[in-house]
Structure formats: C-alpha cells, structure tokens
C-alpha cells in the first residue's frame, strides 16, 4: 500500500480579487501552496501530485523538486480536481489517497501523519480531518446522524437553517481508501448552488452506501483556509508567531515577537537580539550576538556576530563582525562592511567594501568604492561615481583620512596614509602619505556687517 497526496491548487480564488492565482499569494516569505506542499512532503508520502490550473506555469515554478503536477483545464470543482488527479495517478486501488487544499498554509506534517495513521489503523472508506468553529462561515458542515455517524458534508451555500448551526466543519483534507474514492467520485454530480463537482459529495455517497467513515479533529487555527485578504493577513500573523516561537526556543531574543517579521528562509543563531519592527527576508542570516532594530529591513543580507544595526535598510549587503550600522543607513547591493567598521547616520553605500576598522560615520554616499583598513571618511563626503554615462571606481587605501565634504570624482585612487582637505573636490589621484587639497584662498572683508547696515540705511 502506498500513500499518495493530492494538493488542490487549480482555483483562481475569486474572493481575493487579485490577478495573482490565490495559492501564489505570499505569506511569511513563501506562496500559500509552498507551505502546504512542504507540509505534505514532511509527512513522507510515496507520491505528491499538485493539481494546477489558474496560472499553471507560475504555480508549477514555485513547487519544490520531486513534486508532480497535473493541469485541470477548467476548474469544475474540488471533486473534478481530484478526478483529474486520479487520471494522472493511475490505479490507486489499495492505496491511501490524501487530499489537501492548497490554501491552508498552517496545516502541519504532524497532523497529516496523524490523519494517515488513523486511516491506516481503522481502515474506513474515508477519514475526514475536521475542526470546530464558533463561526463556521464559508466552511462545509459535517452532518451526523443521531448515533453520531457521519452522514455527509453540506457546503454552506447549500445548508438549511439547522445545518448552518453545526459547528463541526470539513476542511478539505481527507485520507481516502483509493478504490472507494474512485468509485464514489464517478457518482458525483453537479446539482448544487455552484453547479460544480464537489469532493465533499464523495463523503455523502460513501455514507449512503453504509461505508465506514472516520474522522480526526484538529485545531481551527491550523486549518484556516485563505479565501480573502483579511484571512491571508490572519494566517500570516499565525505563521509568523509560530516561526518566532521556534526561534525564541532556539535562543533568539525578541522583546515583542508580534513586531518581528521573519520569512521562513531566514537563518538566525542563538544569542541574536531582535527589537521591534525588524523585517528579515529572503536569504538573510544573522549571527550570534548581533543586535538588530528597532526598525531594520534586511533582504538577502548577512549580519555577522556582534554587529549592531538599527533604523536601517539592507539589501544584498554584508555587515561584518562587531560592525555598526545606522541609524538611518541604506546599504545597497554589493555592500561589504568588514569587521569593526561603521556606516553611520544618513550613509548610503552601493557596491562598496570597507576594510577592517574603517568608518563612514555621517552623511555620505559611497558607490563603487573600495576602502582599505582603518580609514575614516569625513562627514558629507561623496564618491562622484557616475559621469552621466558610466560608473567609475574609487579606491581608498589604508589609514586614509578623507576630510569632511570631500567630493571624490571617480575614477580615482587615494593612496595609503593619504589625506584630503575638507571641502575639496578631488579630481586627481592622491599619492601615499600626501594631502590632496583643492580650495580657493579664503578672503576676509573687514567691517562687512557695518557696511551692510550703512547700505540698508542709505536705501531707506
Ligand atoms: C472547500 C470545501 C469546504 C471546506 C473548505 C475549507 C468543497 C466543495 N468545499 O470550500 O467543504 O469547508 O474548502 O477548506 O470541497 N480547487 C481546484 N479546482 C477546482 C476548485 C478548487 O484545484 O476546480 C482548489 C482551490 O485552488 C483551493 C482548494 O481546491 O486550493 C479549495 O477550493 P476553495 O474554492 O477554496 O473551496 P472552499 O469554497 O473554501
Ligand atoms: Ca478555501
């Protein structure tokens, strides 16, 4: 006997009112469907097949390796989607077929394994995953007879007054005996409010035949489906809370986890401190003892041990050990800050490296620059790296002192131990140990203030 999982992900998701297929909406850094497929893979089935339709190519592109796909050309309902999947799977007689919707990203591998285990033990025709909801709006209700046996599932739009009050709901997740599923599915019609083939009808058909039906209950939160943007936000909050809890258990400190936004791809070490409003995205890592926030947005960036970053934006940047960034720094792609460096207040860098101990404390722009070790870039200094046509490099050596408000017109090389005078526009290379200064001689006009006052009076 093998276990085959079918993930239903062909629907458009009309209620999202979006051009993006529903299952591609991202939540905590991954599309809805990716979460579900990863949960399915975690339960270690023999085969996983995703039914795609709306935006088929785009959906297929986000799926992990080893997952099959089948296209449901017209989305004629969840029952039709499973029928299409079964055609692709071939003979499933004797197998267990687990069906999962593509829009419940909080569903865990553990629950799927529990569903499959209950099904294997009881050997009914189908084992339903159900939950209890005080407000079951939008969900199919599980209808039971007086003996408590499942009679069927009724979609909300097809319920009567009494059925609408049922709080036990079906969540589109089932373990079926393959043969029973194939037979019952062939009897499913489209006589319902939407004129679609409902997978839920399979349960009623099996029940009417007197086939045994089992059920496994889980928490309502875990099976919350996403049909609209408000539900997407709610599910996102829960996913983030789950991720944050896992990281806190790994030794990451958060003074307010509700205000820490981590994507699933982010890697953290024990001893990291995350203050409120930290957003870490994509391929980002933070090493032990680094202190981030308040207010840091970092994507595809790496922060080394003991660094401190606050009120700043990092994109494809690397912050070295014990380096300091911010407040209000923008580290753009290709920034590599060495150990013990500083990119301080209102500093922007792009494609720039700072060697160990070098500092850019205030109000500077460095683009296409390579700075050696222990150099200091004075406040307000700028690399003029773009001549309107091309970008040019600036090379600054070790132990250099760039005076405040220096314009470095690239391409340019400043040698080791060199200096530039404050306010200079440096257009030629400065040799090792030299001072490059470009300034007109300061004039002094004595009595200037009195002269102006006299002029004002004579004009009156
Ligand atoms: C479905 C269930 C309902 C359950 C609810 C919550 C049916 C008829 N209803 O309703 O009992 O309470 O989920 O989980 O099954 N899909 C396809 N092809 C289609 C139609 C849908 O692949 O032709 C996919 C969708 O992309 C989605 C999933 O199936 O991932 C569920 O479809 P959705 O429209 O969200 O169903 P609900 O109305 O929520
Ligand atoms: Ca749904």
Atom of ligand 1 nearest to the CA of 140: 11
Q: Which residues contact 136 (CB under 8 A, 6 or more apart)?
A: 156, 166, 167, 169
pLDDT of residue 1: 82
Q: Whose CA is nearest to atom 19 of ligand 1?
A: 77
pLDDT of residue 460: 85
Measure the CA–CA gap between 111 and 222, rounded to whole angstroms: 9
CA of residue 243 to ligand 1 center, whole Å: 26
Closest CA to 252 of 238, 271, 265, 266: 271
Task: Check: CB of residue 186 under 8 Å from CB of residue 206.
Answer: no
Task: Check: CB of residue 380 under 8 Å from CB of residue 365.
Answer: no
CA of residue 327 to ligand 1 center, whole Å: 47
What ligand has the least distance to the C-alpha of 174? 1
Q: Whose CA is nearest to atom 11 of ligand 1?
A: 140
Closest CA to 29 of 67, 62, 66: 62
Which residues participate in catalysis according to the annotation? Answer: 362
pLDDT of residue 327: 98
Measure the CA–CA gap between 290 and 46, rounded to whole angstroms: 42
Longest dimension (CA), the chain: 112
Task: Check: CB of residue 331 under 8 Å from CB of residue 364.
Answer: no
CA of residue 101 to ligand 1 center, whole Å: 6
Domains of the chain by start residue, with CATH: 3-217 (3.90.550.10), 252-436 (2.160.10.10)
> First and final CA of the chain: distance in angstroms?
105
Question: Hey, which of 101, 105, 115, 141 would you mutate to test ligand 1's pocket, going by the most ligand atoms within 8 Å of its Cβ?
Answer: 101
CA of residue 359 to ligand 1 center, whole Å: 56
Q: In whole angstroms, what separates CA 426 from the centre of its chain?
A: 44
* CB-defined site of ligand 1, < 6 Å: 8-11, 23, 51, 72, 75-78, 80-81, 101-103, 139-140, 153, 155, 169-172, 198-200, 225, 227
Atom of ligand 1 nearest to the CA of 51: 22
Question: Hey, which of 20, 78, 225 would you mutate to test ligand 1's pocket, going by the most ligand atoms within 8 Å of its Cβ?
Answer: 78
Secondary structure in 3-state letters for the chain:
CCEEEEEEECCCCHHHCCCCCHHHCEECCEEHHHHHHHHHHHCCCCEEEEEEECEHHHHHHCCCCCCEEEECCCCCCHHHHHHHHHHHHCCCCCCEEEEEECCCCCCCHHHHHHHHHHHHHHCCCEEEEEEECCCCCCCEEEEECCCCCEEEEECHHHCCHHHHCCCEEEEEEEEEEHHHHHHHHCCCCCCCCCCCCCCHHHHHHHHHCCCCEEEEECCCHHHCCCCCHHHHHHHHHHHHHHHHHHHHHCCCEECCHHHEEECCCCEECCCCEECCCEEEECCCEECCCCEECCCEEEECCEECCCCEECCEEEECEEECCCCEECCCEEECCCEEECCCCEEEEEEEEECCEECCCCEEEEEEEEECEEECCCCEECCCCEEECECCCCECCEEECCCCEECCCCEEECCEEECCCCEECCCCEECCCECCCCEECCCCCCCCCCCHHHHHHHHHHHHC
Residue with tokens 């050990």: 321
Q: Which residues contact 176 (CB under 8 A, 6 or more apart)?
A: 96, 97, 98, 99, 125, 126, 202
Closest CA to 104 of 61, 138, 68: 138
pLDDT one digit per residue (tens) for the chain, 460 residues? 899 999 999 998 889 999 999 999 999 999 999 999 999 999 999 999 999 999 999 999 999 998 999 999 999 999 999 999 999 999 999 999 999 999 999 999 999 999 999 999 999 999 999 999 999 999 999 999 999 999 999 999 999 999 999 999 999 999 999 999 999 999 999 999 899 999 999 999 999 999 999 999 999 999 999 999 999 999 999 999 999 999 999 999 999 999 999 999 999 999 999 999 999 999 999 999 999 999 999 999 999 999 999 999 999 999 999 999 999 999 999 999 999 999 999 999 999 999 999 999 999 999 999 999 999 999 999 999 999 999 999 999 999 999 999 999 999 999 999 999 999 999 999 999 999 999 999 999 999 999 999 999 999 8
Task: Check: CB of residue 260 under 8 Å from CB of residue 281.
Answer: no
Q: Which residues contact 137 (CB under 8 A, 6 or more apart)?
A: 156
pLDDT of residue 42: 97
Measure the CA–CA gap between 78 and 8, rounded to whole angstroms: 7
What ligand has the least distance to the C-alpha of 36? 1
**Six-digit token pair at 24?**
């591609």
Measure the CA–CA gap between 138 and 155, rounded to whole angstroms: 8
pLDDT of residue 178: 98
Question: Hey, which of 18, 36, 103, 172 would you mutate to test ligand 1's pocket, going by the most ligand atoms within 8 Å of its Cβ?
Answer: 172
Atom of ligand 1 nearest to the CA of 201: 8
CA of residue 155 to ligand 2 center, whole Å: 11
Would you tell me how many other CB atoms lie within 10 Å of the CB of residue 80?
Answer: 21
Q: Whole-prediction pTM value?
A: 0.91
């Amino acid at each position: 006997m093998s276990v085959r999982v079918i993930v239903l992900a062909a629907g458009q998701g009309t209620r999202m009112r979006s051009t993006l297929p529903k299952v591609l909406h991202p939540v905590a850094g991954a599309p809805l469907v990716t979460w579900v497929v990863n949960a399915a893979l975690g339960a270690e089935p023999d085969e996983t097949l995703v039914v795609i339709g709306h935006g088929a190519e785009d959906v297929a592109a986000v799926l992990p390796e080893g997952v099959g796909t089948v296209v449901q050309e017209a989305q004629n309902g969840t029952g039709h989607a499973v029928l299409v999947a079964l055609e692709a799977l071939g003979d499933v007689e004797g197998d267990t077929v687990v069906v999962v919707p593509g829009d419940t990203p909080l569903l865990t591998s553990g629950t799927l394994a529990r569903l499959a285990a209950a099904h294997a033990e009881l050997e009914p025709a189908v084992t339903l995953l159900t939950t209890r909801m005080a407000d079951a709006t939008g969900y199919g209700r599980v209808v039971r007879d007086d003996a408590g046996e499942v009679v069927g599932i009724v979609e909300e739009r097809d319920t009567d007054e009494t059925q609408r009050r049922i709080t036990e709901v079906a969540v589109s997740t089932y373990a079926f005996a393959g043969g029973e599923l194939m037979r019952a599915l062939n009897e499913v019609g489209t006589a319902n409010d939407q004129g679609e083939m409902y997978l839920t009808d399979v349960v009623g058909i099996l029940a009417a035949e007197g086939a045994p039906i089992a059920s496994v209950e889980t928490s309502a939160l875990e099976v919350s489906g996403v049909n609209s943007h408000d539900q997407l936000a709610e599910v996102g909050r829960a996913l983030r809370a789950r991720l944050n809890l896992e990281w806190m258990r790994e030794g990451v400190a958060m003074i307010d986890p509700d205000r820490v936004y981590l994507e699933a791809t982010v890697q953290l070490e024990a001893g990291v401190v995350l203050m409120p409003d930290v957003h870490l995205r994509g391929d980002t890592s933070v090493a032990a003892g680094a202190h981030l926030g308040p207010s840091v947005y970092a994507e595809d960036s790496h922060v080394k041990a003991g660094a401190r970053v606050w009120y700043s934006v990092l994109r494809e940047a690397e912050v070295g050990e014990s380096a300091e960034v911010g407040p209000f720094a923008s580290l753009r792609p290709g920034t590599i800050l060495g150990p013990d460096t500083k990119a301080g207040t209102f500093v922007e860098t792009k494609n720039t490296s700072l060697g160990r101990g070098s500092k850019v404390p205030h109000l500077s722009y460095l683009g296409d620059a390579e700075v050696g070790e222990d150099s200091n870039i004075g406040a307000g200094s700028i690399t003029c790296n773009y001549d309107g046509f091309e970008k040019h490099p600036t090379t600054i050596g070790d132990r250099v002192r760039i005076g405040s408000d220096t314009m470095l017109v690239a391409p340019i090389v400043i040698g080791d131990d060199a200096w530039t005078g404050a306010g200079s526009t440096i257009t030629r290379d400065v040799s090792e140990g030299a001072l490059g200064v470009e300034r007109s001689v300061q004039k002094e006009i004595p009595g200037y203030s009195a002269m102006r006052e006299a002029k004002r009076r004579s004009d009156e």
